[in-house]
């Protein structure tokens, strides 16, 4: 009898819980602000809002938060562009693009590749924010920020290339519907894996008969073709792709390229990689001793590494080894995300750096700035901790639909198809010279094929790394380049 009562009680509690979840009111926090962006005074509403996604049975399956900035008083809101942005990971919130480069306020980190130290950190009005040109919506996918699964949904329902893209595309469709913006010019964009997401999202938005047509895509620190970062033995593509970044890094640290600009030195490395170096790696053991010696000497000149070390590496230079070896004589390693940064390991004998000095050099400032800004300025009252980065990569489904297993992970064809089927779609590619995570030569390689239309590609380069905006000069240049791109695409000049 007791077990029957207990079972009934449990069933009742579960039923009540389901009702509560089903009837939950989405959270929304709105504040009013005024800022000056590119010399234009803009009054805008900032809204941190929860979107509840439901399955086919109407049951809640995910809560996804957006942070939107919408200009007030626009006479024709449908004619005003809106830009949707996210970061990558997978598993990263939008904090980096939000607080580093495109939000109305930004955190002020050191520009000279120095550690951000401890709090308090400076916050400044971000005069380079493009709110004068476009409304902006930052999206935190499931598992990041405040976004999470609901009800019986599981992480695996959202943690994958296509699963993730579908949920983000659903949020975009909902936002433009609720805000009456179907006929507005639209841009999407992301950083790092966020560029992978951008390619998958444009496929979701433009792949059916109910298209959400996109005017432009912003690719910041691009990774579309993952063969360029796979260091499996036998795959020589990464050695070619990373060489120009190694040359730029050696140039920056005074190990190579004296008398040449970074652009000139990088071009020399790019040309060598595409020609003699590619030939040497393809020849493998058939390479003659004379050719091997010439390639080894040029590699040493470009990378600042010792010829003997290059020879012992069989002409194949792995990024992690390079990051440890380049400044070994100084007892320093160089960063992965930004090789301008240097770090000190426990000892100098290892093969690879202990950790990435270019990440721990900025993480404290961004985390503190985001949490302070959300709660104090945007008046967000949520008990949950804002998740800066969730470790989702370990459980991520990397399979591409229609490819089977194992698949060649390359989403660049999605962009190529979207450009071929949308004659107005243009793409801006922003790349840092000192980025080993998503090397700039990799962006060039992946977008120079796969049906991508080169006439509508716009490459821009920066003397910084993965998060090029932590360098103040590169921040200003990136903001100007993005504003110019938006204006160009919507026909307001170059």
**Which pLDDT tens digit goes with each residue over 307-341?**
999 999 999 999 999 999 999 999 999 999 999 99
Secondary structure letter of residue 460 according to DSSP: E
Domain definitions of the chain by residue range: 15-227+363-489, 231-360
The upper half-sphere exposure of residue 73, i.e. CA atoms within 13 Å in the direction of its Cβ, equals 8
What pTM, to 2 d.p., does this model score?
A: 0.92
Write down the pLDDT at residue 288: 97
Q: Report how far residue 70's alpha carbon sits from residue 42's, in angstroms, rounded to the nearest whole number.
A: 10
Distance CA 126, CA 397 (A): 37
Residue-wise pLDDT for 124-177, tens only, equals: 999 999 999 999 999 999 999 999 999 999 999 999 999 999 999 999 999 999
Contact 435, 250 (CB under 8 A): no
What pLDDT is recorded for position 199? 98
Phi-psi region of 382 (alpha: psi -120 to 50; beta: other; left: phi over 0): beta
CA dist., res. 38 & res. 88, Å (int): 27
Query: In whole angstroms, what is the distance from residue 187 CA to residue 462 CA?
Result: 22
Question: Which CA distances in Å does 296 have to 102, 185, 313, 318, 328?
Answer: 43, 51, 10, 15, 20
Cβ(175)–Cβ(51) under 8 Å? yes
Question: What's the pLDDT at 313?
Answer: 96
3-state secondary structure of 428: strand
Spans of the chain, pLDDT less than 50: 1-21
According to CATH, what is the number of the domain 15-227+363-489?
3.40.50.1820
Residue ranges of E strands in 391-489: 426-432, 457-462
């Amino acid at each position: 009898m007791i077990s029957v009562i207990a079972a009934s009680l449990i069933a009742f509690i579960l039923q009540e819980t389901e009702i509560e979840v089903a009837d939950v009111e989405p959270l929304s926090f709105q504040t009013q602000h005024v800022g000056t962006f590119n010399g234009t005074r803009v009054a805008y509403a900032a809204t941190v809002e929860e979107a509840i996604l439901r399955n086919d049975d109407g049951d809640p399956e995910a809560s996804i938060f957006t942070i939107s900035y919408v200009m007030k008083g626009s006479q024709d809101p449908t004619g005003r562009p809106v830009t949707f942005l996210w970061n990558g990971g997978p598993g990263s919130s939008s904090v980096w693009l939000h607080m580093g480069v495109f939000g109305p306020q930004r955190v002020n980190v050191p520009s000279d590749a120095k550690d951000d130290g401890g709090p308090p950190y400076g916050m400044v009005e971000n005069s380079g924010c493009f709110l004068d040109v476009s409304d902006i919506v930052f999206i935190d996918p499931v598992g990041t920020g405040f976004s999470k699964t609901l009800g019986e949904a599981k992480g695996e329902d959202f943690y994958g290339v296509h699963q993730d893209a579908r949920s983000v595309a659903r949020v975009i469709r909902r936002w433009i519907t609720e805000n009456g913006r179907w006929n507005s010019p639209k841009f999407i964009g992301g950083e790092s894996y966020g560029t992978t997401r951008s390619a998958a999202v444009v496929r979701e938005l433009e792949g059916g008969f109910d298209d959400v047509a996109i005017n432009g895509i912003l690719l910041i620190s691009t990774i579309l073709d993952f063969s360029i970062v796979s260091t499996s033995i036998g795959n020589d593509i990464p050695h070619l792709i990373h060489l120009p970044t190694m040359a730029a890094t050696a140039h920056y640290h005074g190990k190579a390229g004296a008398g040449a600009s970074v652009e000139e030195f990088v071009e020399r490395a790019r040309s060598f990689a595409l020609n003699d170096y590619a030939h040497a790696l393809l020849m493998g053991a058939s390479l003659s001793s004379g050719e091997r010696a010439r390639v080894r000497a040029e590699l040493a000149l470009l990378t600042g590494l010792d010829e003997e070390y290059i020879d012992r590496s069989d002409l194949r230079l792995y990024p992690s080894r390079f990051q440890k070896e380049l400044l070994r004589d100084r007892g320093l390693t160089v960063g992965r995300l930004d090789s301008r940064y240097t770090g000190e390991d426990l000892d100098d004998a290892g093969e690879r750096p202990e950790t990435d000095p270019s990440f721990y050099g900025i993480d404290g400032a961004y985390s503190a700035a985001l949490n302070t800004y959300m709660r104090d300025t945007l008046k967000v009252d949520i008990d949950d901790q804002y998740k800066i980065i969730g470790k989702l990569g370990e459980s991520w489904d990397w399979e591409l639909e229609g490819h089977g297993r194992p698949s060649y992970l390359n989403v660049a064809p999605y962009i190529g198809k979207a450009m071929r089927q949308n004659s107005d779609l243009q793409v801006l590619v922003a790349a840092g010279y000192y980025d080993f995570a998503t090397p700039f030569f990799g962006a060039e390689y992946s977008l120079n094929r796969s049906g991508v239309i080169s006439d509508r590609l716009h490459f821009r380069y920066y003397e910084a790394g993965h998060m090029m905006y932590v360098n103040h000069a590169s921040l200003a240049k990136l903001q100007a380049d993005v504003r110019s791109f938006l204006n160009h695409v919507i026909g307001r000049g170059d």
